[in-house]
Amino acid sequence: MFKDFLSATDLSRPMAEALLTQAQALKAVWQQEGCHASEPLRGQTLALVFEKPSLRTRVAFEAGMTQLGGNGSYLSANDIDMGGRESVPDVARNLSRWVQGIAARVFKHSTVELLAQHATVPVINALSDQEHPCQALADMLTLLERRGSLQGLRLTFLGDGNNVCHSLLLLGATLGVHVTVGCPPDYQPNPEILAQAKERAAQSGSTIQVTDSPSEAAEGADALYTDVWASMGQEHESARRRPIFQPYQLNRDLLALAAPEALIMHCLPAHRGEEITAEMVEHPQAVIFDQAENRLHTQKALLLTLLKQ
């Protein structure tokens, strides 16, 4: 068992598979009944400490806590100036006296690590500059729903070797997914994370590949995945990055190279006409909003696992 969820590496294969199985069960009950009768988290509160704005992460955690009988308490950067008005350790110590869990959406990964170090309640990485493990869980559930099995699937990520890419590499490798990253030479994934992913892939029977050729990356893929070319905090680099990343745009030409009926994926928000064309967002093979929906169910599984220990 694990106390915190800071990285996809916190999950062994059995743990990840158990979370996905639980998420499937929770989703089935919610779709059929519209409620969770037992409300297993009644009386519990999750603090949502967000240095960055959010749609999917915030609503999925708040709605998930509500559906499970608990409560989400949102704290923006204006409410908690971590490292400024109050130190990160002190924030962790205070929150631990009032709530049963902390979900932190931060700029620096070291911030979420410091929170976990000083909190006595579970801490969840709701996004950092290094990883976005909650997103990767929802993505794996989406692939599982559409394909029935994850082992041997070929997932291609196109664009910046960013936090989403990192978590897809790590969790995909853990679950037996072949992950290929197509990105410009100067924007490859973190070498340490890449090495960790390769170690996990060797154990699960999958492969990890990085290439600067978008066509090579897309060839035969079961799913094509992309994200914005400039993440939050990098907006000033958008104009410079645009021509560098243009060849990696998820469009009909790259889709034509993928396997028949290849899935089209994006973690949102999408900049139509940049990293993905509007045609691909609305394509019949797109599962983009399924990914968004599945944030709710995988995060509920995560909350039940961590808060009911």
User: Would you name the residues annotated as active-site residues?
Assistant: 105, 132, 135, 227, 267, 295
Which residues lie below 8 Å from residue 28, measured CB to CB, with a gap of 6+?
none
Nearest 5°: the CA angle 77, 240, 170 is 60
Q: Quick one: how many helices (H) and strands (E) in the chain? A: 12, 9
Would you call 110 exposed, middle or buried from its count of C-beta atoms within 10 A (0-12, 13-18, 19+)?
A: middle
How far is the C-alpha of 34 from the C-alpha of 264, rounded, in Å? Answer: 28
Q: Comparing C-alpha atoms, which of 217, 218, 243, 215 is closest to residue 230?
A: 243
189: which DSSP letter?
P
